[in-house]
Amino acid sequence: MSEDNQGILWEVFLQPKPGRPFKHVGSLHAYDKKMAMTSARDLYTRRGEGKGIWLVKSQDIVSSHPEDGEAFFDPSNDKVYRHPTFYSIPDGVKHI
Partner 1 sequence: MDDPKKLAEFQEKIDADIKIEPRDWMPEKYRQNLIRQISQHAHSEIIGMQPEKNWLTRAPSIRAKKILMAKIQDEAGHGLYLYCAAETLGVSREQVLNLLHEGKAKYSSVFNYPAITWADMGAIGWLVDGAAIVNQVSLQGTSYGPYSRAMVKICMEESFHQRQGYEVVVSLAKGTPEQKQMAQDALNRWWWPSVMMFGPHDAESAHSNQSLKWKIKRESNDELRQRFIDKTIHQGEILGLTFPDPDLKWNESTGHYDYGKIDWDEFWNVVKGNGPGNKQRLNHNIAAHEDGQWVREAAIAYADKINSKTKTA
Nearer to partner 1, 2 or 85 (CB): 2
Euclidean distance between CA atoms 85 and 42, whole angstroms: 46
Considering only the stretches 3-11, 13-21, 77-85, 87-95, report the one whose residues sit in contact with partner 1 under the rule CB under 8 A.
3-11
Euclidean distance between CA atoms 2 and 62, whole angstroms: 33
4 binds partner 1 (CB under 8 A): yes
Residues paired with 13 in a beta bridge? 24, 54
Contact residue for partner 1 among 65, 82, 83, 94 (CB under 8 A): 65
Is the alpha carbon torsion for 67, 69, 74, 77 positive or negative? negative
End-to-end CA distance of the chain: 70
Considering only the stretches 5-13, 15-23, 72-80, 84-92, report the one whose residues sit in contact with partner 1 under the rule CB under 8 A.
5-13
Residues 10-29 that bind partner 1 (CB under 8 A): 25-29
Residue type for position 43: L
6 binds partner 1 (CB under 8 A): yes
72 binds partner 1 (CB under 8 A): no
